[in-house]
Structure 1
Amino acid sequence: MSMDETIPYPGIEGILSADRFGTYLRWAGEDRNKAVSLYTLNALLSESLQLPLHMLEVALRNRIHQIMTEAHGDTWFDMPEHQLNATQADMLARARQELAEKGKDDTPARIVAALTFGFWTAMLGKEYENLWQQTLKDIARREDGKGLRRKDFTKSLGAIRTLRNRLAHHETVLYWDLPKHYANILQMIAWLSPVAADWCRAYCRFQSLYPVEGVALIS
């Protein structure tokens, strides 16, 4: 979409709120139509990033569950030594409660699917360094087959979580270095599952949507 394209949509700023639309107006130098274009670009890029984020979450939880099941059985998450992060017990309890409210048995597969992204990223925290060395290191490999340190794998994970949360709340992300974050997401997916990364590259529209010249914002 050309940033010079006129997209009037009269009155749309009224539903977006003055504060939210005001950000885009400032970035557009008070050019109302350009502000609408920027808002639209933000929405389209946000939508496109949901696909690789979706795959990252699915691949991460399933690889952790697979490797931990092989080492400790499919109810490994109930073992006290695997609950070093205090909030994880609450996350596990909430997952079971949600299943109970839906009238579903809390089978391991259902619990794994119900646990949030925060649970899985917590499994890679520094308190789990020993578990990484012993077991979790097997969830991922570099492209050349070499292993990864926990810090190598998690160095961009905090920013990815923040990006994911902003997208979930429909916040602006245009001022972020989105190509960098997209590349980091794909890198993590490739380490977890090369074929999953290939799928993302085939179907994610981010690169075709992101302007070749970048996004010019007036500060």
Structure 2
Amino acid sequence: MPHTPIINTLSPSRMSTYLNATNQDQAKALELYIWNSQISAALLVPMHLCEITIRNTVAQVLETQFNAQWPWARSLELTLPKYFRAELTKARNQQDVRNRASKVIPELTFNFWQQMFVTKYDQQFWQPYLHTLLPNAPANMPVDQLRASIFNDLDKIRKLRNRIAHHEPIFKQDLNLIMNKIESLIYFRCSNTSDWATPYYQVQALLQVKP
């Protein structure tokens, strides 16, 4: 099968990263491209579970602090930067929300949930609740360090997910490291959930056959 028409269809500019990685071998570049697509798809499953885990953890904190109607709490709004305040307002104004926090939660972005792990929330949210909500996190790690570590891990996961969403190359990244961070965050919250989900992941199998 001729490779040049395929590369032209995908576009030479898009394929240049893969061609450079394979010494301009078109067949190997296309093999790497397909593998990159497959590993990207496989990563979406653990990323999905990680995001659900984290946003439900944060939502529990917010409900504890501001009651079940936390998305409408003015005191929460005032703690948010302007951008995230606007995001919260937009989310709770969706037509099908009907004053239910559970309907607001999926309308908020991964970036919003990550924002809840910044330093200024240590005293209000995380010092009282972090080790309770994440019972399997390292018990000897101070809350401010654990919270900062979670923020940084979420940042790496979010940025990789954004690259996947835009169909960008991820084959040069340390995907084992990212998977370890994803699995740790889920485990911190619930070992049963972690044990249940892990057998369904296909990431490790694909990493073993990377071109």
> How far does residue 80 in structure 1 lie from its aligned partner after superposition?
3.7
Question: CA 1:82–1:134 in structure 2 vs 1: closer, same or farther (change >3 Å)?
Answer: farther
1:159 to 1:90, Cα distance in 2 relative to 1, 3 A: same
Alignment partner of 1:110 is 2:103: yes
Hey, what's the Cα distance between the residues in 1 that align with 2:136 and 2:150? 10
Which residue number corresponds to residue 189 of structure 1? Answer: 186
2:164 is aligned to 167
Are the equivalent residues in 1 in contact too, given 2:134–2:190 (CA < 8 A)? yes
Distance 2:2 2:54 in 1: 42
Q: Is the 1:160–1:185 contact (alpha carbons within 8 Å) kept by the matching residues of 2? A: yes
Question: Is 1:96 aligned to 2:73, yes or no?
Answer: no
Q: Which blocks of at least 5 consecutive residues in structure 2 are unaligned?
A: none
Number of the residue aligned with 1:152: 149
CA distance in 2, matches of 1:36, 1:125: 41
d(CA) in 1 for partners of 2:41, 2:148: 29
Deviation at residue 136 of structure 1 after TM alignment: 4.4
Amino acid at match of 1:197: S
Q: Which has the larger helix fraction?
A: 2
The percent identity for this pair of structures is 28
Displacement, 1:202?
1.2
- Partner of 1:121 in structure 2? 114
Task: Note closer, same or farther for the CA distance 1:183–1:8 as it changes in structure 2 (3 Å cut).
Answer: farther
Q: Which of 191, 195, 208 is the matching residue for 2:205?
A: 208
Deviations 1:160-217 (A, max 9, x none): 11111111111110000111111111111111222222233110100011126x66xx
Unaligned ranges ≥5, structure 1: 1-6
Alpha-carbon distance, 1:8 to partner? 5.9
The 1:8/1:61 distance shift into structure 2, 3 A limit, reads farther
Cα separation, partners in 2 of 1:129 and 1:112, compared to 1, 3 Å = same
- Quote the residue 1:72 is aligned against: 66
